[in-house]
């Protein structure tokens, strides 16, 4: 039964709750009596009962997705939710069944179904997300330590190199734009190498006109914590941002806003549309980020500096962002050994015979 707190902290916590778990007594301080009574009334399991507690697949998915929604970006959360939805749609997997009864063979069949109906890439992505969810369940829901998802081998998949626009194509799109804010946004991507949503959430508090720098914030890491970093920008970009602020007195907190004066969320079809209008091969915001890294590399900027500008934790990730800006390199070919003069004549004679000359 709850009672008045007799201890020194009674002014802050006037009520004390008390309950027993087996022969063990527990006490806890509360600000109001109702909270103490609710805490006392919670039905607790004996340690022996806790060991036999079973968690169904649906409960596991619900708890993990609640965690993911609070700690990951919206895109990552949706990706994980879809992975569970695809898993539970597979024949032979009952969401109400105990998670401890899920076998690697069931997982194998479920992911094989995804690989056949969608792609190997999709199956591998689901495998990664569900494996991470199971590891979380081992830690917090006492799931079996053997992870049935990690036992499944990765599926064969086709990897396509991301299309990176040429600088000429970027400028064609840039000059085709009529709206000044759109041109400024595109120029910001080229000058900062920002991720798409980093500029969408950019506020005027993140722009330091005195030191000519901007602060980009992101939440792309395992623990889902927000991180930010100040980046210096060129004089012309800082001046353009200042003109943009002065010329739009009705702007809200965000630097870039839609016609409804709201911050952008996706804008996924806009760039594809303007690329088509400019007559260039469509590219995305992330393609500009790769172009940014490739331009710096072509100018012999040290890799560690490019890593800092891209805000990567791994140098290996930065290396994947660097693409050749020229399709051919004749200087490299000149270093290869060639044919001798006599071999060249012989080869030319055969070539003429083939052509019937």
Supply the DSSP string of 6-27, one letter for each residue: -SGGGGT--EEEEEEETTEEEE
Residue 339: its pLDDT value, please? 54
Structure tokens at 35: 């909270």
Q: Considering its fold, how many domains does the chain have in total?
A: 3
Give the containing element (helix H, strand E) for 76: helix 74-88
Q: Strand ranges (DSSP E) for the chain?
A: 3-4, 15-21, 24-30, 207-208, 213-218, 227-232
DSSP-derived letter for residue 299 is T
CATH assignment of the domain containing 86: 1.10.150
> Is pLDDT larger for residue 40 or for residue 136?
136
On whether residue 159 sits in a domain, the answer given is no
What is the domain extent for residue 103? 57-140
Residue 21: its pLDDT value, please? 65
**pLDDT single digits (tens) 312-335:** 988 998 998 887 664 444 444 455
pLDDT band at 108 (very low <50, low <70, confident <90, very high): very high
SS3 state of residue 97: coil
Give the containing element (helix H, strand E) for 176: helix 167-176
Tokens 């069931």 correspond to 106
47 and 68 part of one domain: no
CATH assignment of the domain containing 211: 1.10.443.10
205 and 291 part of one domain: yes
On whether residue 350 sits in a domain, the answer given is no
**pLDDT single digits (tens) 151-209:** 999 998 776 677 899 999 999 999 999 999 999 999 999 999 999 999 999 999 999 99
Task: Give the end-to-end CA distance of the chain in Å, rounded to a whole number.
Answer: 108
pTM: 0.64
Work out the number of other CB atoms within 10 angstroms of the CB of residue 271.
21
On whether residue 85 sits in a domain, the answer given is yes
Mean pLDDT estimate for the chain: 84
34 and 134 part of one domain: no
SS3 state of residue 150: coil
Q: Point out the least confidently predicted range of 39-43, 74-78, 319-323.
A: 39-43
Q: Is residue 345's pLDDT more than 70?
A: no
Report whether 32 contacts 15 (CB < 8 A).
yes
**pLDDT single digits (tens) 114-155:** 999 999 999 999 999 999 999 999 999 999 999 999 999 999
183 and 46 part of one domain: no
263 and 238 part of one domain: yes
Instruction: Determine the Cα–Cα distance for residues 194 and 326; give it in Å rounded to an integer.
Output: 23
């Amino acid at each position: 039964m709850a009672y008045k707190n007799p201890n020194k902290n009674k002014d802050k916590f006037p009520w004390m709750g008390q309950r027993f778990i087996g022969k063990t007594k527990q006490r806890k301080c509360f600000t109001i009596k109702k909270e103490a009574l609710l805490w006392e009334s919670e039905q607790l399991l004996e340690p022996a009962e806790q060991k036999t507690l079973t968690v169904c697949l649906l409960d596991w998915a619900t708890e993990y997705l609640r965690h993911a929604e609070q700690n990951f970006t919206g895109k990552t959360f949706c990706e994980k939710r879809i992975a569970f939805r695809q898993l539970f749609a597979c024949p032979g997997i009952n969401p109400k069944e105990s998670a401890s009864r899920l076998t690697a063979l069931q997982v194998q069949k479920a992911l094989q179904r995804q690989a056949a109906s969608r792609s190997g890439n999709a199956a591998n992505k689901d495998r990664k997300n569900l494996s991470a969810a199971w590891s979380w369940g081992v830690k917090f829901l006492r799931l079996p330590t053997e992870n049935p998802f990690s036992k499944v081998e990765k599926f064969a998949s086709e990897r396509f190199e991301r299309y990176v626009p040429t600088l000429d194509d970027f400028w064609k799109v840039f000059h085709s734009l009529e709206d000044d804010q759109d041109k400024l946004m595109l120029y910001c991507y080229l000058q900062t190498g920002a991720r798409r949503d980093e500029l969408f959430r950019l506020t005027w508090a993140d722009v330091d006109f005195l030191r000519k720098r901007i602060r980009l914030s992101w939440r792309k890491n395992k623990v889902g914590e927000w991180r930010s970093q100040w980046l210096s920008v060129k004089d012309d970009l800082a001046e353009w941002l200042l003109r943009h602020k002065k010329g739009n007195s009705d702007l809200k907190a965000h630097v870039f806003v839609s016609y409804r004066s709201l911050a952008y969320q996706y804008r996924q079809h806009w760039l594809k549309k303007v690329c088509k209008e400019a007559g260039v091969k469509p590219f995305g915001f992330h393609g500009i980020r790769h172009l940014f890294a490739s331009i710096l590399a072509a100018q012999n900027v040290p890799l560690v500096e490019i890593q800092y500008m891209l805000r990567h934790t791994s140098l290996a990730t930065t290396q994947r962002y660097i693409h050749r800006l020229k399709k051919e390199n004749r200087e490299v070919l000149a270093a290869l050994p060639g044919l001798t003069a006599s071999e060249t004549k012989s080869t030319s004679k055969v070539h003429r015979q083939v052509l019937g000359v």
